Amino acid sequence: MPVQTEKGFLSKLSSKISRYNSESIKTPNEEEKAGFLKAQRLAYQCVTETEKEMREGWTELQTAKRMEEFLRDHGVKAFLHRPFAWFGEHARFDGYKRFTQFHPGKKRLTSHESFILDVSPVVNGYIGDIGYSSSLVPNQELDLGMEYLLKLRKEIPEYFSSSMSASEIWWKIDRDAKENGFDNVHSLYPFAVLGHRVYKVHLPNFSFPLLPVSFASWFSLQGSYEFLTHKVLPELLTPDHEGDKIGLWAIEPHLGRGKTGFKFEEILVVEKDRAYWLDEEVPHVKRERKLQNSI
C-alpha cells in the first residue's frame, strides 16, 4: 500500500483509538526513571562512540551494523528496533513511497553531509530510544537546524505541562517549524509520530530473529510484539492524539532544511503538573553548553 494511502487510513483510526486507556499512562517512580536513564545513556554512548569511528565512505548499513555490535558487546539482547543510520538527503525522506525506503541502505557518507543515528536498546526491560544528529566536519545547515531544535527542546516541557492536548502540541510544533523555514520530516513517519511512549517491557532475555523485509522488518520481534500487544495508538503522539499526556515519552522532532535532515530523540517525563527531560547531560545539550562557554 502506498505510504500516503496507508497514512490516511491510519489517521482515521488514530483519534478514536488514542483515547483508549493504557497501563503506560502513569507517573513513573524513581526506580523506573533510573532504569530508563541507564538505557538512554547507553544508547547515547553507542552513537557517540560509533561517530568517532565513522569515516567518509562508510555506508548506512555498515554504520547500523557497527551500532548493533556495540550494543550487543555491552550486553544488549533486545531492541525496540534495529539501529538506523541516515546520511545526507536520505535523512529527509523526500518522495518515499514504501516504508522499506526508510531503512538504512548502501548510501556512502561524504565529508560534507550530515547524518542521523537512531538506536533503541532494551536494558533490563527499559527502552532507551534515542536519535542523534552530527557530521564529520562542520555543517552550517545542521548547525542552524540544531540551534532551532535546542530552542524547541526548551519549549516542549512547557507545552506538555500546559492544558494543550497532545494533538495541539503536534500541530503547534508543525506550524512553528514551517514558519521558521523548516520542513516537518516526522510528518512522513508511520502514523506521522512526533514521539511515542516508553515503558518497561517483560520479554525473554535472548535475541529473536528479525522479521522478513517489510515495514516491520527493522523492528525486532520484541518490538513488534510490544506494539501489537500494548495498544499501539495510545502510545503514539500523532496529529490526532486525544489521550492523556501523563507518562514517559520518547520525543523525536525531525525537521529538514535544504538537503539536510536533523532530529533529536530523548525521554520526556510528564507528570500531572509538570514535565521535564529525563537527562540534561545528553550530547546535544552538552555541545550547546560547551559552545556557550567558549564565547
Task: Work out how many domains the chain is built from and give that number.
Answer: 1
- Give the residue, 78 or 269, on which the prediction is more confident: 269
Confidence band of 8 (pLDDT split at 50, 70, 90): low
Residue 2: inside a domain, yes or no?
Answer: no
Q: Provide the domain limits for residue 184.
A: 9-293
pLDDT score at 102: 82
- Check residue 235 and give its pLDDT: 84
CATH of the domain at 264: 3.90.230.10
Q: When comparing pLDDT for 164 and 80, which is higher?
A: 164
Q: What is the largest CA-CA distance in the chain?
A: 51
pLDDT digits over 255-269, tens only? Answer: 999 999 999 999 999
Quick check: is 91 in a domain?
Answer: yes
Give a yes or no: residue 198 inside a domain. Answer: yes
User: Looking at residues 179-183, what average pLDDT do you find?
Assistant: 98
DSSP 215: G
pLDDT of residue 23: 75
Is position 221 within any domain?
A: yes
Mean pLDDT of 144-169: 97
**2 pLDDT tier (thresholds 50, 70, 90):** very low
Helix axes 283-294, 30-53, angle to 10 degrees: 70
Which grid coordinates are listed for 207? 535475541
> Is there a domain that residue 33 lies in?
yes
Which of the four pLDDT bands, split at 50, 70 and 90, describes residue 254?
A: very high
Distance, C-alpha 235 to centroid of its chain: 14
Q: Residue range 133-146: average pLDDT?
A: 96
In a domain, 238, yes or no: yes
Task: Specify the 3-state DSSP secondary structure of 225.
Answer: helix
126-127 β-sheet, strand order = 78-79, 121-123, 126-127
Reading phi first (left if > 0) and then psi (alpha if -120 to 50, else beta), residue 113 is in beta
User: Is residue 1 included in any domain, yes or no?
Assistant: no
- Which three cell numbers, joined as nine digits, stand for 247? 507518562
- Residue 95: predicted pLDDT: 83
**Does 4 map to a domain?**
no
Distance (Å, whole) CA 114 – CA 167: 30
Is pLDDT of 215 > 60?
no
pTM here is 0.86
**Can you tell me the distance from the alpha carbon of 157 to that of 137, in angstroms, rounded to the nearest whole number?**
31
pLDDT of residue 21: 59
